[in-house]
């Protein structure tokens, strides 16, 4: 395992469900020590979310297992005075605090940014919410689907007949979590220069608008509102999903030379000089007819064969896979993206036995450090699993903040 760049960074994680836990999961993969603060007896809502009822009953739902490996779980009730005192001490010695409550909740229970900053001037406080901490919608409740709709994302997903459609995974939560992780790592880098903490106000709505790229920027620049185009790429043609002998194939011949190579390989070289398709703008105007002609040619071979032929010639092409097929792709396995770690204690025995290799498979970050993947050092925690370690954890955090304490203890 390579050296992790955030080794020694201490993170207090007050987050729930996805956007916040996804953020702190990536901080953990980068080496941070993440202490998950959970409501006693209940914990993160994700503990009861997922398709397996047995895991949900054990407060180890699939949604929780996916985003919380390598973290430690400590139960604290921030409305209880002794637990508030413990949390205060943790905040005093933390490097990062992350929460995804509705705007202002942590302040209303006694921990506004001003107080936290007084306790710990170097603290990086990251608040993730649907709309941010300010503005007319700051108090509105938000889930991923709400953000997808408000961002315009759903309006450009599907076809004219089927839109608006929700993207098939919680993309707004994911983008919000990644934006938060990026901001936190930037703030940590900045603190090394000036020693200052930061208050990071992450809006999932704004992060989603930023991530939509040309769908937003084209409108801002040109004033042309994007329309849903299904599996077709508005910026180029032929670029989208095509029919082969045994199923759909994605082709993105976005450059002129790729288009010409595609026409030759499918046996339709005359399409290169056809004035309807001679350049990018002409092809976009006559997209429907071009797609029809290419589909006729592509149906002569199966998708896997076209994928091999086109890719070898430099034309981006690939079959459309199910999730089950995608996670089994050799390319992903060859880079060590998935990690097999033990199930946490407390998983029902019958659930573990249903797993072919008796282990829990979780995702990595998609980034290799010095050629090596970053994998979790431990399974996701059982609720309150590290309660008994709290005194030792506090001692370590105090000493990490003030090395003189460690010297005194050694004497």
**Angle, helix 390-401 to helix 403-410, in steps of 10 degrees:** 110
Q: Which is it for strands 360-363 and 338-341: parallel, antiparallel or unpaired? A: antiparallel
* Percent of the chain topping pLDDT 90: 91
Tokens matching residue 333: 């396995």
pLDDT at 359 > cutoff 90:
no
* Mean pLDDT across 31-50: 96
CATH 3.40.50.10540 domain locations along the chain: 10-212+329-410
Contact indicator for 100, 128 with CB cutoff of 8 Å: yes
Residue 354 banded pLDDT, cuts 50, 70, 90: low
Residue 1 banded pLDDT, cuts 50, 70, 90: very low
Supply the pTM of this predicted model: 0.92
Residue at token pair 């249903």: 354
Q: What is the pLDDT of residue 356?
A: 47
Please count the helices (runs of H) and the strands (runs of E) in the chain: 20, 13
pLDDT at 411 > cutoff 50:
no
Half-sphere exposure of residue 346, counting CA atoms within 13 Å on the CB side?
17
pLDDT at 41 > cutoff 70:
yes
Tokens matching residue 315: 């034309």
Q: What is the pLDDT of residue 156?
A: 95
* Mean pLDDT across 36-43: 97
Residue-averaged pLDDT of the chain:
93
Contact indicator for 181, 23 with CB cutoff of 8 Å: yes
Residues 49/52/58/63 CA torsion (nearest 10 deg): -30
- What are the φ and ψ backbone dihedral angles of 264, each rounded to 5 degrees? -65, -40
> Mind telling me the catalytic residues?
173
Q: Which of 346, 340, 403 lies closest to 69, judged by CA?
A: 340
DSSP summary character for residue 166: -
Tokens matching residue 48: 């009861």
What span, in angstroms and rounded, lies between the C-alpha atoms of 197 and 125? 8
CATH 3.30.1540.10 domain locations along the chain: 239-319
Q: What is the pLDDT of residue 57?
A: 92
Beta bridge partners, 38, equal 75
Mean pLDDT: which of 111-125, 337-351, 391-405 is highest?
A: 111-125
The CA-based angle 89-92-95, given to 5 degrees, is 125
* Mean pLDDT across 52-68: 93
Tokens matching residue 261: 């190579």
Give the CA distances from residue 44 to residues 13, 77, 121, 294, in Å, rounded to whole numbers and listed in that order: 11, 13, 28, 50
Q: Which of 30, 37, 25, 36 lies closest to 8, judged by CA?
A: 30
Beta bridge partners, 10, equal 33
Instruction: Quickly count: other Cβ atoms within 10 Å of residue 358's Cβ.
Output: 11
* Mean pLDDT across 293-301: 97
CATH top-level class for 239-319?
alpha beta
CATH top-level class for 10-212+329-410?
alpha beta
| pLDDT per position as a tens digit, 78-135 | 999 999 999 999 999 999 999 999 999 999 999 999 999 999 999 999 999 999 999 9
* Mean pLDDT across 365-392: 95
């Amino acid at each position: 395992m390579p050296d992790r760049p955030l080794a020694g960074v201490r993170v207090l994680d007050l987050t729930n469900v996805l956007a916040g836990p996804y953020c702190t999961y990536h901080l953990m993969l980068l080496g941070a020590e993440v202490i998950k603060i959970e409501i006693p007896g209940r914990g993160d809502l994700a503990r009861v979310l997922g398709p397996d009822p047995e895991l949900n009953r054990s407060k180890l739902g699939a949604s929780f297992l996916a985003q919380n490996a390598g973290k430690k779980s400590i139960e604290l009730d921030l409305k209880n005075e002794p637990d508030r005192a413990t949390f205060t001490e943790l905040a005093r010695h933390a490097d990062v605090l992350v929460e995804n409550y509705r705007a202002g909740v942590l302040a209303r229970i006694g921990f506004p940014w001003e107080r936290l900053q007084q306790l710990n001037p170097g603290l990086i406080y990251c608040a993730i919410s649907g709309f941010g901490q300010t503005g007319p919608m700051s108090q509105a409740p938000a889930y991923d689907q709400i953000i997808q709709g408000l961002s315009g994302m759903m309006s450009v997903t599907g076809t004219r007949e089927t839109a608006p459609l929700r993207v098939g995974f919680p993309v707004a939560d994911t983008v919000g979590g990644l934006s938060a992780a990026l901001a936190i790592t930037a703030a940590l880098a900045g603190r090394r220069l000036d020693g200052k903490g930061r208050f990071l106000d992450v809006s999932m709505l704004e992060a989603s608008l930023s991530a939509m790229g040309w769908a937003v920027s084209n409108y801002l620049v040109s004033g042309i509102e994007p329309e849903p185009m299904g599996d077709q790429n508005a910026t180029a043609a032929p670029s989208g999903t095509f029919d082969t002998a045994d199923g759909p194939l994605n082709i993105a011949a976005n450059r002129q030379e790729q288009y010409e190579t595609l026409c030759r390989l499918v046996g339709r070289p005359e399409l290169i000089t056809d004035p309807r398709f001679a350049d990018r703008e002409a092809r976009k105007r006559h997209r429907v007819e071009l797609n029809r002609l290419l589909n006729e040619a592509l149906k002569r071979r199966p998708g896997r064969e076209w994928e091999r032929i086109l890719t070898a010639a430099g034309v981006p092409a690939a079959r459309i896979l199910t999730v089950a097929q995608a996670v089994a792709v050799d390319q992903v396995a060859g880079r060590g993206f998935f990690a097999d770690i033990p199930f946490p204690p407390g998983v029902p025995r019958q659930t573990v036995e249903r797993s072919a290799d008796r282990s829990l498979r979780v995702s990595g970050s998609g980034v290799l450090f010095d050629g090596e993947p970053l994998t979790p050092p431990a399974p996701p925690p059982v609720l309150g699993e590290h309660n008994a370690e709290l005194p030792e954890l506090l001692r370590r955090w105090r000493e990490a903040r003030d090395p003189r304490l460690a010297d005194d203890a050694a004497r």
